[in-house]
Structure 1
């Protein structure tokens, strides 16, 4: 965050960008329109966020942090049962994704021309995957899952990719998908 810009201003800027994206699409989001909506100068938006690619990255990272908070809560709640923690984390992410307006705007844009945000979730998602994998790896350390560190990394990355796939294109309810992924993990651990 830029020095001198309060956190609530940054959040208002990001909230305004989400609102504009869900209302009229990412292509219509400009720093000037965000500044106008937030009641700040355009320079404040640039100083705090940067140019539009940095805004896109900030939006996606903020969403990721909110999804990872759901994952962390699931692991904290199910502190003694590894499979239940995996199931609850998966369910929580998929349930949250169902009602996430920004995510829906990004995914639905694939049917039109406004796909500038999509690479942050798909082809340019290395940072997203790395961050999610690192957070989950920290959570599973306290469980006796029987996997080596390398095996755990492979399993986590695979699960994160599968969950992300279901976030982007769900084929079942969050409950059903969480059950399926939990079953798959149980087979790996078995």
Structure 2
């Protein structure tokens, strides 16, 4: 348990360091050596934990997606009985965080090698799976408590929708948070009286 806690702490420090580096540089200009030096660890330790540069970027993107789940968790608990308002606030908060995120900014500015775009599109399975599983747990442990099968369906769809806005921002006159909540809230309401598995 202690080793697991230390590993999580190491990952947090590394991802925090990467975030700081991304605020000053494009992803394409940051090396694993830069990140290791910023944390005060060896490059080998970084390789052992993340595998390679893509693995590090993927871990950072997973943390971004987990931010969406964190927003949903807080918003659902803060809006007992009003799922639509809770989802609207959750998505608004996530989009504000994403807009300020330096890796998202790099992605939207069109990094030449397309690595970041692949991470949130064709190679996004680890991000989607991790965030969907967490969101499913949040929903099942909350006052919403949908049946298991539908909770998983909702979680997968909600995470996919939220992350799609990262790769393709909404139209200037759109209100994606309100649209998101308006589309998904009826599905959850249809489950509230359904018997549990």
Deviation at 1:98, TM superposition (A): 1.8
1:7 deviates by 5.6
SS at match of 2:175: helix
Describe the shift of the 1:114–1:26 C-alpha distance in structure 2 as closer, same or farther (beyond 3 A): farther
Distance 1:41 1:7 in 2: 17
Find the residue that maps to 2:179 and give its secondary structure.
helix
Change (3 A) 1:162 1:21: same
Query: Does the aligned pair in 2 maintain the 1:20–1:28 contact within 8 Å?
Result: no
Deviations 1:60-94 (A, max 9, x none): 22222333222211122123222222222222212
The equivalent residue for 2:135 is 136
- 1:83 and 1:57 mapped to 2: Cα distance? 31
Paired with 2:113 and 2:24, the residues of 1 have a C-alpha distance of: 13
Q: Per-residue CA shift, 1:146-171, capped at 9, x if unaligned?
A: x7644443343333222222233322
TM norm structure 2 = 0.73
Residue 105 of structure 2 corresponds to 104
| TM-score (normalizing by structure 1) | 0.76
Number of residue equivalences: 186
Q: Unaligned 5+ residue runs, structure 2?
A: 191-197
Q: Which residue is 2:195 aligned to?
A: none
Aligned residue for 1:67? 68
* Residue equivalent to 1:113: 112
Q: Give the whole-Å Cα distance in 1 for the aligned partners of 2:8 and 2:129.
A: 25
In 2, are the aligned partners of 1:16 and 1:37 still within 8 Å (CA)? yes
- 2:8 and 2:154 map into 1 onto residues whose CA distance is 36
Do the aligned residues in 2 keep the contact of 1:14 with 1:59 (CA within 8 Å)?
A: yes
Unaligned 5+ runs, structure 1 = none
